Amino acid sequence: MFSNNMRVYRKTFSILFFAIFLVTACTAHHAFAEEKGLGRIQGTVKAKKAKYLRNTLVYIENVTNTFDPPKEHAVMDQKNMTFIPHVLPLIKGTTVDFLNSDMVQHNVYSPDAVADNVNLGTWLKGEVRSFTFNKLGIASMLCNVHVDMLAYVLVLQNPYFARVNNDGNFSITNLPEGKYIVKLWNERYKAENRQVEVKANVSVTVEFELK
Ligand SMILES: [Cu+2]
């Protein structure tokens, strides 16, 4: 009786073990499934408090190539008196549709040259006004009806950017080989730039510290 139980136990155990092995193998494979000849940057951002990491972006300043903006428009909504998303990264040349989902009038303007000091005017729910970001840099977007409303558009040269997650981790995948300057953007805090060399099928690790 005992040995019978033991056999069942052992069999269950090996099946379980095999299942765990399969899942692990698949995950590992997935994590490093870069396209051939491309590499990856993986990293962490340290912050005194985890909440400081919110809306942090990591991007590569310049990648030798030209990158066409997507034909699809990006969207920035105004809902509950807030711009959503608070931070919008995009490739230069991308058009953003600004919406209004509130029952009150909102305005959209930018005091920054990156956004040509645009003022899209003031409009009600249901209407959409668009703007194409053709200059690299960071544009703050404001509403002159509600002075607390603020958002940022990060106009980037290439699609190699990533949001930092709540644990401070990020990864930028499928990068061509080369030497790059990796930058971090956060509304309030700064971090020193990092220099990395990306090689095919390898993951480079970088670490930032918010100060
Ligand atoms: Cu407003």
Q: Within this chain, do residues 24 and 78 fall inside the same structural domain, yes or no?
A: no
Report how far ligand 1's centroid is from the alpha carbon of 99 (Å): 11
Report how far ligand 1's centroid is from the alpha carbon of 121 (Å): 11
Q: Within this chain, do residues 163 and 74 fall inside the same structural domain, yes or no?
A: yes
| Tens digit of pLDDT at every position of the chain (211 positions) | 455 555 555 555 555 444 444 444 444 444 455 678 899 999 999 999 999 999 999 999 999 999 999 999 999 999 999 999 999 999 999 999 999 999 999 999 999 999 999 999 999 999 999 999 999 999 999 999 999 999 999 999 999 999 999 999 999 999 999 999 999 999 999 999 999 999 999 999 999 999 9
Report how far ligand 1's centroid is from the alpha carbon of 186 (Å): 23
Q: Within this chain, do residues 172 and 77 fall inside the same structural domain, yes or no?
A: yes
Q: Within this chain, do residues 119 and 18 fall inside the same structural domain, yes or no?
A: no
Q: Within this chain, do residues 2 and 84 fall inside the same structural domain, yes or no?
A: no
Sheet holding 87-91, edge to edge: 87-91, 150-156, 137-142, 106-109, 119-123
Per DSSP, which regions of 126-193 are E strands?
128-132, 137-142, 150-156, 161-163, 169-175, 178-185
DSSP-assigned states of every residue in 32-77: T-PPTT-EEEEEEEE-SSGGGGTT-EEEES--SS--PPPSSPEEEE
The residue whose two tokens read 């970001």 is 133
Report how far ligand 1's centroid is from the alpha carbon of 16 (Å): 56
Report how far ligand 1's centroid is from the alpha carbon of 144 (Å): 7
Q: By residue range, what is the domain housing residue 22?
A: 1-31
**For position 102, which CATH number holds?**
2.60.40.420
